[in-house]
Structure 1
Amino acid sequence: MVERRKPIWVKDAIENVMKYKKHGDIELISLDDCDGRFLAEPLVADHDVPPFDRSPYDGFALRAKDTKNASRENPLTFKVIDEIGAGQVSPFKVGNMEAIRIMTGAQIPKGADCVMMLELTKEEKGSEGTSISIKRSLNEGDNISFQGEDTKKGSPLINRGAAINPGIKALLATFGYSKVKVSSSPFIGIIATGSELLNPDEDLVPGKIRNSNGYMIESQILRVGARYKRYGSISDNIDKLTEMIKQAIDECDVLITTGGVSVGDYDYLPEIYRRLGANLLFNKIAMRPGSVTSCAEKDGKLLFGLSGNPSACYIGFELFVRPYIRYWLRSEQPFLRIISGTLKNDFPKPNPFSRFVRGKIVYENGQVFVEPVGLDKSGVVTSLAWADCLIILPGGTRGYMKGDHVELFLLDDQQGSDEPWVEAKFSKL
């Protein structure tokens, strides 16, 4: 039986999903194994960086007041009283017309208040020791990296929920985190539905297609920081599909099904939701592609029903599943980040629903431009390989033209946003 569905706004669908948001457990793992994981607690500096005044160059530490009269016409000579490398501390105090040779990273010795770079000195060795001559004056503090100038003790550095990249890993090492608290990654179950689906190693036959959605979703799950469990593809048999969904709900934190969410005779998910006693959150959204995206809740777990069309499936995951997972990982910015760009092509197609068009960002003369890639059809898969953004085209207009300013969702971004996108509600639902 064909059912009539009432679409809801994208923002409302996201809010319905996020009503069930929750944080995952916390794991303590080795610094060696933390790459790509997500911080469960904010990273705060437990000491000043640098922890002492140090030299950023190889050179000579001396007193600025002793250099006051130095010039090309009046070079000044300083006695070198010691030499220190990184990790060493001189026992001597720099006095009048004295200098200590210092290597990059070494602590500034007592008495010194500036550093003359090595290449600006002339060194001479004699029977009474080593001396240097200089031909320019310095000010107090010149060429010194001061204690705490990078960061002060107690300063917040990285928010919880941040993906650990090489820079964050360096900070963790700097502040002594041999063990790191990270959020546990949720397990996402994946079931692809449809009697037409073949495995990638099977030969094509008339009326059949290979299951690309399952593998695509797996990659999206990994990119967002979660893990997946593959339940394979199921033919259009409502009893078998119901049993597999029951099993997946028990074994996973979230379930994604692809296909079976439309309104045809073989689209069984609405009936399965009823059999399971699941609470239907929505089953139609004012968007293209992916208007038939659905979501239900069962015992606190979410069941996402994504379209069987690849592009619609892809976009449904990014808009609705991604923020739920990122919040699970304690991100304070779980939504897709938005930037502005300028269209390089006409997009005259009118639509009452907002469109999310696969796009490619182009940088020209310091400005952001964007152009659609591939065919703008929900069943198209090839354009996804080239897309690095989604062009947001709010509904209720006569279309968009080259030169129009548009908003873009960034697909490979890890920074995210703390607010979901809000469509301009021009059309009537």
Structure 2
Amino acid sequence: MNVGQLQGEARFRRQAIKVDDAIRLIIEAAKPGRMESVPLREAGGRRLAESIAATTDWPPFARAGLDGFAVRSADTALASPGSPAVLRVIDTVAAGELASAAVAPGTAVRIMTGGAVPWGADAVVMLEQTADARLDGQPAVQVKRTAEPGQNIAPQGEEFRCGSVLAEPGVRLRPGHAALLGTFGYAHVPVYARPRIAVLATGAELLPVEAPLEPGRIRDSNSAMVAALIEQYGGVPVLCGRVPDEPAAAARAISDALAQSDLLVTTGGVSVGDYDVIASLLQRIDGVPAAAPVEAAPQPRGEIELSTSAALPADSRLLFNKAAMRPGSPTSAAVVSGKLLIALSGNPGACFVGFELFARPALLRLQGASPAEAMPKQVTAKLACTFDKGSPHERFVRTRLYTEAGVLFADPLAFGKSSMMASIPEAEGLIRIKAGAEGPSEGTVVDVIVL
């Protein structure tokens, strides 16, 4: 069966969707997924799957804020450097200990930072405002300043009350959260599981990375790049190898990949060539993208009916099969068996850009990020040099970023064509060049997606 026949003229009639609309469709289709409980020491960087609440008041007792003496403020009402109050010292309390007796009128307790303030005391006088003394042969302290009620004491429940929420689902756990959770006894933390992302490459021209080159063939470098990007953004890559340009084999490979993953990323096979098998399969899905442009026609059925083994499941839903962008306009997405399939270009540069724009937001959403957090982050920068190449669609240009005199500059990288990979390792951002006959000139303020 000829793949070109499967697509027919429909391959040339794909309707482009705006990039931001395409990203939103993907984020809407990607729902926070599996949950798991991990040891507290492994929770950093993960997103919380359930609300976490304080298990006790914090502090759990009135706590001294510094080294000094716990006193009754009333006993120091007339204290001054020239006429200090003299109080008998009845005990010493270190952090983790309790006083043996309450503070009665005319007495004080030596206390260390973090120590539990004994009953009867309502203030702590810092050590620098006291002097050692004797009273009737017993240890005593001279207090040289009047103490105010509550002075240098952290009252019970000052920061948190028992049952108050510490963090909500979706919060990315930072080191400060680890301190909070440890304080309240959370040895294990409920988080969203790292999503398993299947990676499937198409193309009869692809060789394994370790294979020697053959005439007309290239090594599969995209799978390794996509796997590295998946790990960088918190996912677990599942490498599914390569599939030939044959619909039935591709449909089976997609089904198998989705069965063992939360999301599938394919590379290659999405353009308009006679052997672009992923495009052929997606073209057969009924329905039109929800955000398709005005006058978009329904997806045609093509010239030859696909057999059951050479088609995606009947309940599959196409999100889009073309994006108004350069590079990577054939990038496509669908929901298959209830899971996202993101089909990226086989050209390395376009594959890289497509992953950052579409797959990364899906990964973040699966890990519990809110829709707003999952959207690519943008900044503005000044263009360091003229980019004179126009485009009928918005262009995403790999760039390095630098700051000069407090101003952020974007310097477009060379070798930026969709098939080129030399600039990928240096890319720190993607400049968004608006569609038009001419590109922007040096000094123009442009939007940049930060990688």
TM-score band (shorter)? Answer: 0.7 to 0.9
Aligned counterparts of 1:89 and 1:77: Cα–Cα separation in 2: 23
Aligned counterparts of 1:345 and 1:240: Cα–Cα separation in 2: 47
String of CA shifts for 1:46-76, please: whole Å, max 9, x gaps.
3322222212322222234444554554555
Q: Is contact 1:62–1:112 with CA below 8 Å preserved after alignment?
A: yes
1:427 equivalent in structure 2: none
* 1:13-412 to 2 correspondences below 5 Å: 13-31=22-40, 33-123=42-132, 128-203=137-212, 208-236=217-245, 238=247, 240-273=249-282, 274=284, 275-277=310-312, 278-333=316-371, 334-336=373-375, 338=377, 340-343=379-382, 345-349=384-388, 350-360=390-400, 362=402, 369-372=408-411, 374-375=413-414, 376-396=416-436, 399-400=439-440, 404-411=444-451
Q: Is contact 2:270–2:331 with CA below 8 Å preserved after alignment?
A: yes
String of CA shifts for 1:228-280, please: whole Å, max 9, x gaps.
21112345455543432232233333211112212223322112333324443
Aligned counterparts of 2:75 and 2:136: Cα–Cα separation in 1: 24
Closer, same or farther: CA 386–44 of 1 in aligned 2, 3 Å: farther
1:416 equivalent in structure 2: none
Cα shift at 1:198: 4.1
Q: Is contact 1:61–1:102 with CA below 8 Å preserved after alignment?
A: yes
Equivalent in 3, 17, 21 of residue 8 of structure 1: 17
Aligned counterparts of 2:75 and 2:383: Cα–Cα separation in 1: 62
Aligned counterparts of 1:216 and 1:95: Cα–Cα separation in 2: 72
Q: Is the partner of 1:256 in helix, strand or coil? A: strand
Using the aligned pairs only, state the percent identity.
40
Could you say what the CA RMSD is over the residues aligned between the two structures, in angstroms?
3.3
2:288 equivalent in structure 1: none
What TM-score do you get using the length of structure 2 for normalisation? 0.77
Cα shift at 1:8: 0.6
Cα shift at 1:190: 0.5
Unaligned runs of 5+ in 2: 5-10, 285-309
Closer, same or farther: CA 78–371 of 1 in aligned 2, 3 Å: farther
Aligned counterparts of 1:221 and 1:39: Cα–Cα separation in 2: 20
Q: Is contact 1:391–1:409 with CA below 8 Å preserved after alignment?
A: yes
Aligned counterparts of 2:247 and 2:84: Cα–Cα separation in 1: 92
String of CA shifts for 1:380-418, please: whole Å, max 9, x gaps.
44544344444444445954456555544444xxxxxxx
1:425 equivalent in structure 2: none
Cα shift at 1:41: 0.9
Q: Is the partner of 2:418 in helix, strand or coil? A: coil
Aligned counterparts of 2:400 and 2:368: Cα–Cα separation in 1: 30
| Greater Rg by CA | 2
Q: Is contact 2:53–2:164 with CA below 8 Å preserved after alignment?
A: yes
Cα shift at 1:84: 1.1
Aligned counterparts of 2:186 and 2:24: Cα–Cα separation in 1: 36
Unaligned runs of 5+ in 1: 412-429
Aligned counterparts of 1:41 and 1:302: Cα–Cα separation in 2: 24
Q: Is the partner of 1:160 in helix, strand or coil? A: coil
Closer, same or farther: CA 210–33 of 1 in aligned 2, 3 Å: same
Q: Is contact 1:356–1:392 with CA below 8 Å preserved after alignment?
A: yes
Q: Is contact 1:341–1:368 with CA below 8 Å preserved after alignment?
A: no
Of residues 164-173 and 67-76 in structure 1, the stretch that sits farther from structure 2 once superposed is 67-76
Of residues 252-261 and 309-318 in structure 1, the stretch that sits farther from structure 2 once superposed is 309-318
